[in-house]
Amino acid sequence: MSLSSTELNYLVWRYLQESGYDLAAYALDKHSECSRATERDDNPLVAKVFPGALVDLVQKGILYTMTEEEVEGKPELLTLMGSLSHTPQDPQLPLKSEETPHTNGTTDTPMEVDTWSKTANGESFTTNTLSPVLEFTPSISFAWHPSLSIFACGENNPQAIISVLNGQHSAVVESVTLTHPAQAGGGANSVNMVSWVPLGTLLVTACASGELRSWSPDGKLKNLAPLGATGDSRSPPLALALEWSDSGQFLLSVDTHHQVSLWDANLNLIKLIRTGDANRDDKHAAVCISWLSEHKFCVTTRKYSIKVYNISNNLDVHPIGSLHGHDHPISKIIRNTSSKFLATVSDFDYIIKIWAAGVSQECLDLNTPQNNAKFLHTSPVIGMFWLEPEGASQSLLLTVSMDAVLNLWDTISGQSVISCQLYKDATLFSDGEAIKLPAVLFNADLSPNGQLLALADDYGRVTIWELRVSAQKVVCVGRYTIDIPHGSPKVGVCDLKWSRDSKQVGVSYLGHPSVLLQV
């Protein structure tokens, strides 16, 4: 295995950062400039190096030395990229002997599968009643760690909690509390957003006092930064969105003052973009953001357009173009990382637009009478997700609106592949009982494997839906309900997120214990 000095320096630099040795990492980078590897979009090393990669490589090197004579030859694995790509889930290397290879305590046992997943390719299914595998403190925000069995939640008070789970995700084995200062004036300084950097080395929290704070996974405060401009006489802005670039080098935030802030990973402000009028409260000027690449991002404007910005090597940020087409404010924007398409929607006329990569003004309209959908969206879209089904030649766009209408769109032809009313269609439930309450959906999240959709409504109900794209249907495979006193506005779902293995959903409840649901 060959390793260049640049690759080794980058691995050591990453290890020092992940271990909290910031000063040593800075000194190494100052002399070797190894961090510049993150500035190139086409650098495969950055995407391949996961947290703990250096330790993993050392362990693999020891095992390789012990089994070198037994390997029948896999030269593609004897490189840095090959070693990083080879994980315990990959097929085992062929051995000359019949010995069972040693592992680090893992065994290849069949994964436990619920009843509904055993018949996922057939017509039968079961709508299971879900029970929590874990209950924890009421919270208003939730985020899974990108690579470990850890989650963070923000509470409706000045604190957030990082929790470490056991192997079954059924108990918290360790937790640390992140204490924030009380809000000036005695208001509740609730932690309304928690977000992990893609590498998992930092957690950023946003609270009602208008501050962002970054924390190490063991609960040490790394930095804090105020949202908005210094000297602003208005009330502190509240963070509405936090979006990391793919490598975690940059962070975008949007606040209630219609300001977009670009930060580096250490919460140093790079650029403040005002999209509204600082002298008036424009309640209709919602601001949406999305990353287009590691050094390009887009921001919606008050003129119903999308402005594209570029970040140069010297961190100069300037607009390089714009997209025009919507007749009303844009309420949601999402990028397809594979096709580079961009999807936008307006909650005024409910028109969805697909923007082609590299073609500034060419777009495809969805959710119109010409799209041949059985049910069109006539209420705000609360969930919009890109799908890349196995064997499909094109990308699909999944949209869900507050009235529980679901559409799966072919983004090439513009036709609807699946169109249904989730709560009203009794055939989507195994017991044949549709949800009769006039519920309104507030939260939606698609599992990382693209097969399951989690929804939460104003009754605190969580439903899990399996997407059977090849059969052009969707079915309910799980349901979790809580008892909310009639007319109680202080109990409800605030957030829900899928775990990285698509097996659990974390649900933040206000006024009720938050839960982890196994599906």
3-state SS of 396-408 is EEEEEECCCEEEE
Which residue carries 């606040």 as its tokens?
255
Q: For domain 5-85, which architecture applies?
A: Up-down Bundle (1.20)
Average pLDDT, the chain: 83
The per-residue pLDDT for range 460-482, each reduced to its tens digit, is 999 999 999 888 999 999 999 99
Domain residue extents for the chain: 5-85
Question: Is the confidence at residue 367, as pLDDT, over 70?
Answer: yes
Strands 473-480 and 128-129: parallel
Which of helix, strand or coil describes residue 322? strand
Virtual torsion, Cα 127, 132, 137, 142, nearest 10 deg:
-50
| pLDDT tier at 66, thresholds 50, 70, 90 | low
Distances (CA, A) of 228 to 13, 71, 235, 280, 482: 32, 58, 10, 15, 39
472: region left, alpha or beta (phi > 0 left; psi from -120 to 50 alpha): left
The pLDDT, as a whole number, for residue 76 is: 45
Question: Is the confidence at residue 342, as pLDDT, over 70?
Answer: yes
The pLDDT, as a whole number, for residue 64 is: 65
The pLDDT, as a whole number, for residue 224 is: 94
Better-scored residue on pLDDT, 96 or 273 = 273
**How far apart, in whole angstroms, are the C-alpha atoms of residue 83 and residue 72?**
16
Q: Of 336-340, 341-345, 359-363, give the range with the top mean pLDDT.
A: 341-345
E strand spans, 414-513:
416-421, 441-446, 452-457, 462-468, 473-480, 492-498, 504-510
The pLDDT, as a whole number, for residue 507 is: 98
Please list the alpha-helical segments (H only) found in 369-493.
Answer: none
**How far apart, in whole angstroms, are the C-alpha atoms of residue 496 and residue 519?**
14
Which residue carries 């008036």 as its tokens?
280
Mean pLDDT (whole number) for 319-325? 91
**How far apart, in whole angstroms, are the C-alpha atoms of residue 321 and residue 305?**
10
Better-scored residue on pLDDT, 217 or 487 = 217
The pLDDT, as a whole number, for residue 408 is: 97
The per-residue pLDDT for range 145-195, each reduced to its tens digit, is 999 999 999 999 999 999 999 988 889 999 999 999 887 766 678 999 999
Question: Is the confidence at residue 78, as pLDDT, over 80?
Answer: no
Mean pLDDT (whole number) for 495-511? 96
Mean pLDDT (whole number) for 368-389? 92
The per-residue pLDDT for range 387-439, each reduced to its tens digit, is 987 766 678 999 999 999 999 999 989 999 999 999 999 999 998 888 877 78
Which residue carries 């990669």 as its tokens?
53
Task: Identify which of 39, 43, 32, 38 has the alpha carbon closest to the alpha carbon of residue 8.
Answer: 32
| pLDDT tier at 85, thresholds 50, 70, 90 | very low
Which residue carries 């590897």 as its tokens?
37
**Rg of the chain in Å (alpha carbons):** 24
CB of 206 within 8 A of CB of 239? Answer: yes
Distances (CA, A) of 114 to 63, 478, 505, 519: 36, 11, 15, 7
The per-residue pLDDT for range 259-316, each reduced to its tens digit, is 999 999 999 999 999 876 555 555 556 799 999 999 999 999 988 999 999 999 999 9
Cβ burial, residue 223 (10 Å; 0-12/13-18/19+): middle
Better-scored residue on pLDDT, 38 or 143 = 143
Mean pLDDT (whole number) for 37-63? 68
Question: Which two tokens mark 403?
Answer: 């009235």
**How far apart, in whole angstroms, are the C-alpha atoms of residue 240 and residue 287?**
9
Q: Which helix (H) or strand (E) holds 85?
A: helix 80-85
Determine the Cα angle at 323 with ends 322 and 327, to 5°: 130
CB of 115 within 8 A of CB of 168? Answer: no
Strands 159-165 and 172-179: antiparallel
